[in-house]
Amino acid sequence: MMTYVCDKQREWITESPYKEGVNYHRSQLFFILEISTLVIILLAAFLSSLSVIVAILRVPALRHNLNNILVLNILAMDVNVTIWSIPFSLADLLVPGYLTCFPRLCKIHGFFALLGCFGNFSAIVLVSIYRCVNIVFGNRFTWKRVHIAAMVVLGWVSSSLITLPPVTGTASTHEYTIGTHHCSPSWEDSCTFYTVCICIIYIISIPTLIICYALIQKKVHKSAERMDQYRRGSQDHQGNEYHPGNHGDTQGRSILKRKVSEKDSVRQINRDNTATGTPSISSTRPKRISLTTFHSIPSVVERVVETKVKRENSSVRINRLKAIKVKAFMRKQRSEKKVAISGMVLILTSTICWTPYFIVHSCRLAIHPSHAYNVFAMWLAYTNAALDPMIYTVLNNKIRAAVWTQIRLPVTLISSLWNHCRS
């Protein structure tokens, strides 16, 4: 038995173009599938967004990170979809067409629903621009909180300006559709507005995302090549250095051979000088050596040994510093790879989730989708609000640790209370 809120709803439901959507609700199996999937999406989007927001705000290290401020902006857009879109569709499943009785509520709901779509894309673009500048340009530009705040405000203002024309009635009007179970702009009435929206998403936003993360991937590839060259050079340098513990008596033998060869060369020169009448090398040296010279020989040897030890210690310190530098560079490279991966995943999820919706409501394509496909396209767009926080939780170690900590806390508390009650 269908519930009617007003006469306008009754007239709207009984019109022939919408009987197909109403007949679907007479199938109990489809109705249960439709409402159960939407409840799961609602709970997943709300709980995942709330857990990540609380984790970022609770941990000071995450809260003071500028990148996480932009992540909070994405989550705010997802919460907007969760609060202003999904509950209205859920209520419409129970009372189909009730939004036709409240035109102002339909406008407000449609405004925030469209704001969630464009706001999500703008927030992802801002994160990609921040990461691209931070990784590609490095220390050439220093980000401050003022810059991040200006970017967030710019994202909200630009998204609001895009969604205002249907509210004011300048480009289109919000109307209720039973296929999506919520109010959305009448795309067929204003094909120009639809074309502008498509251009903003698929010609401006998505190419910007691809370019930013392509530059990040190129930077990561160059850094990996530079790191390989540095490691090969350091290994060659270490191979040419003297390590007493590894060589044993080889160094002493080479020194002895060098001394023998020097004596042989001196004897050969003296033979040549004798044949030519030139004084020999040994005759030019003083025949008497003072006692001070004998006393200074040990000190000279000590200085030579001390110099060798210092050189060996300095080479060990240099190798340790190089190892530390290599480890730090590897950590930075791994984080940059994760940034590139998370960006590509965000691009794919946002594109995949919202493309069917714009295909269904296209004013350029002569298609007549069924009610089931309309619902699938709308539910898939809602799923994007649940996927964004999950992606950041999986790919960010610090956020994942913080979320896991706050999940374990109530579980530990409940188990401790249960054990106390049992005892």
pLDDT over 70 percentage in the chain: 71
Is residue 419 scored above 80 in pLDDT? Answer: no
Mean pLDDT of the chain: 78
- What CATH number is given for 7-235+324-418 in this structure? 1.20.1070.10
pLDDT of residue 115: 92
Confidence of residue 249 (pLDDT cuts 50, 70, 90): very low
Task: Give the span between the Cα atoms of 145 and 69, in whole angstroms.
Answer: 9
- Residue 253: pLDDT band (50, 70, 90) is very low
Percent of the chain with pLDDT over 90: 28
Let me know: does 99 contact 174? Beta carbons within 8 Å. no
In the DSSP assignment, the letter for residue 135 is I
How far, in Å, CA of 365 to CA of 77, rounded? Answer: 29
Q: What whole-number distance in Å separates Cα of residue 263 and Cα of residue 268?
A: 9
Residue 329, pLDDT score: 65
pLDDT of 370 over the 50 cut: yes
The winner for highest mean pLDDT among 131-145, 283-297, 335-349 is: 131-145
Read off the pLDDT band of 39 (50, 70, 90): very high
**Residue 90 contacts residue 38 (beta carbons within 8 Å):** yes
pLDDT at 241: 47
The beta-carbon contacts of 392-395 under 8 Å, at least 24 apart in sequence, are 392/52, 392/71, 392/342, 393/48, 393/51, 393/52, 395/338, 395/341, 395/342, 395/345
247 or 123, which is more confident: 123
Which pLDDT score is estimated for 95? 84
Domain boundaries defined on the chain: 7-235+324-418
Predicted local confidence at residue 15, as pLDDT: 65
Query: Which pTM value belongs to this model?
Result: 0.75
402 within 8 A of 56, measured Cβ to Cβ? yes
- At 291, the pLDDT band (50, 70, 90 cuts) reads very low
Q: Per-residue pLDDT averaged across 154-164, rounded? A: 93
- The secondary structure of 288-343 as a DSSP string is ---HHHHHHHHHHHHHHHHHHHHHHHHHHHHHHHHHHHHHHHHHHHHHHHHHHHHH
| 63 token code pair | 């809260």
C-beta of residue 68 within 8 angstroms of C-beta of residue 389: no
